[in-house]
Amino acid sequence: MAIKLIVGLGNPGKDYQSHRHNVGFWFCDALANLYSATFKKESKFSGDVTQVTISGLSVRLLKPNTFMNRSGRSIQALAKFYQLDAVEILVVHDELDLDFGTAKLKAEGGHGGHNGLRDTIKALSTKSFYRLRLGIGHPGDKSQVADYVLHAPNKSELTQIQNAMTDALQVIDDVVKGDTDKAMKNLHTKD
């Protein structure tokens, strides 16, 4: 099944843009940049939306303006409006359980404590959507997670995150075309 919507999870506003929690936004920005697309605010979807053509297929990019914990509202509004099935959606998010520089593609699954995913699962009433997980490392202690995700990565971490995004951008054509097995094989197999 082809992907028709790519959602980057993050928090809106200048205060949050450099935070680890916003790597989903960064990925959507990189994708929009790659295809010379510009986001515009769409109040009916509570988010910033643009459209790109990847491998001949029309794909919408969405950055919810609802803050991380309410991401599902924005995703559900757009999916409902364009009559998209959950399996046609790719959600891009930060992943504490992956090291910096790691990008993993996943078909469905739980939320793993990620509030943006938790709200998306609730809003779509299913776990059956694709995820692109971008590693941001773990602070080491559960009690430090909230503070950790709301801070900017250091220079070396940022470089590694950017490398992971580059790796993911190289397989996005296959992901969009629905050839997720090929995309996973290429993304998950490092030289």
Residue 21 a catalytic site member: yes
* Structural domains of the chain in order of their starting residue, each with its CATH number: 5-188 (3.40.50.1470)
Beta bridge partners of 77: none
Segment 143-178, tens digit of pLDDT: 999 999 999 999 999 999 999 999 999 999 999 999
d(C-alpha 59, C-alpha 88), whole Å = 10
Are residues 3 and 15 in contact, defined by beta-carbon separation less than 8 angstroms? no
Q: How far from 61 is each of 70, 81, 96, 149, 156, CA to CA, in Å?
A: 17, 14, 23, 23, 28
pLDDT of 43-90, one tens digit each?
999 999 999 999 999 999 999 999 999 999 999 999 999 999 999 999
What pTM, to 2 d.p., does this model score? Answer: 0.97
CA distance 175 to 172: 5
Q: Which of 21, 114, 138, 188 is catalytic?
A: 21
- CA dist., res. 84 & res. 62, Å (int): 13
At residue 103, the 3 state secondary structure works out as strand
